Structure 1
């Protein structure tokens, strides 16, 4: 199977260096980010999960460490809204062009505002979904924020 996805093409176009890491995706598994971290032998804090949300009914994308939980209150504040909720999976798939379990912040079909958890960013390497179930991208965290056109905020529950 080809490793090229809209996410990898977007990173190549942005001249952002990355490596691909494949793993056996478990479609029945819960907590996809933790499953991926375990499968590739990586620290769950350095394996970032991509979540699609709605802030005041407008779509947005958030990226947080797989071992943390999203705070909807902080998400709403980050995007200047009053309320935030998880986007239904079918809507997230239509909007991004990716299947759940494979959503990437890079190369989405419709570009939306994106935010990364501030504690996950710095001059170190992270894994982020590559736009296909079972495909992770290994790249510099700061470069990932730049390539996604994102900002950084506190987004996780304390």
Structure 2
């Protein structure tokens, strides 16, 4: 894998936040990127979070939930004061974040997007999420993730 730098890792370095990168060989046949990361890296899937982009009342919004659950769109909308949410068009998500689907990080987006992180993240010393590329995960303290993204913390995961 050529260079591991991404906008997410650049932001973490610039802000002097402690983090650890974990890389693995992504299987292009895999459609569940977060689950794949947990399995290949031998991580507790409850500590691995996926980044999903939704359209809340016409505004792109990021939901960060454990790979073991699904994004509760109604709860996401409520967390940002919206009424209705649906999954965003993948092309719009890629354009706004600057990342490809399967490698969207909650950090370092091209456009500033509202971020909501599932409350379960705060129960761990560290969590894992995409570092901005398929096959590259970043491990960091959930408080740092919340602070750097300006996130709202709410119950947005459905089992």
Pick the TM interval, shorter chain: over 0.9
Partner residue, 1:31? 32
Contact 1:52 1:92 in 2 (8 A): yes
Using the alignment, how far apart are the partners of 1:26 and 1:146 within structure 2?
Answer: 32
Using the alignment, how far apart are the partners of 2:79 and 2:59 within structure 1?
Answer: 13
**Unpaired segments of 5 or more residues in structure 1?**
none
2:16 counterpart of 1:48: no
Partner residue, 1:71? 72
| Structure 1 residue 27: Cα displacement | 2.0
RMSD (CA atoms)? 1.1
| Structure 1 residue 122: Cα displacement | 3.5
Contact 2:130 2:138 in 1 (8 A): yes
Contact 2:47 2:124 in 1 (8 A): no
Contact 2:115 2:151 in 1 (8 A): yes
Partner residue, 2:158? 157
Using the alignment, how far apart are the partners of 1:26 and 1:150 within structure 2?
Answer: 31
Using the alignment, how far apart are the partners of 2:122 and 2:116 within structure 1?
Answer: 11
| Structure 1 residue 148: Cα displacement | 1.4
- SS of match in other structure, 1:4: coil
TM-score between the two structures when normalised by the length of structure 1: 0.96
2:108 counterpart of 1:137: no
Contact 2:130 2:137 in 1 (8 A): yes
* Range with bigger deviation, 118-127 or 13-22: 118-127
| Structure 1 residue 121: Cα displacement | 1.5
* Range with bigger deviation, 25-34 or 103-112: 25-34
2:3 counterpart of 1:2: yes
Once superposed, which parts of structure 1, at least 4 consecutive aligned residues long, lie more than 3 Å away? none
Using the alignment, how far apart are the partners of 2:88 and 2:138 within structure 1?
Answer: 23
2:79 counterpart of 1:81: no
| Structure 1 residue 123: Cα displacement | 4.9
**Unpaired segments of 5 or more residues in structure 2?**
none
Partner residue, 1:108? 109
Partner residue, 2:122? 121
TM-score between the two structures when normalised by the length of structure 2: 0.95
Contact 2:33 2:134 in 1 (8 A): no
Q: How many residues align?
A: 158
- SS of match in other structure, 1:127: strand
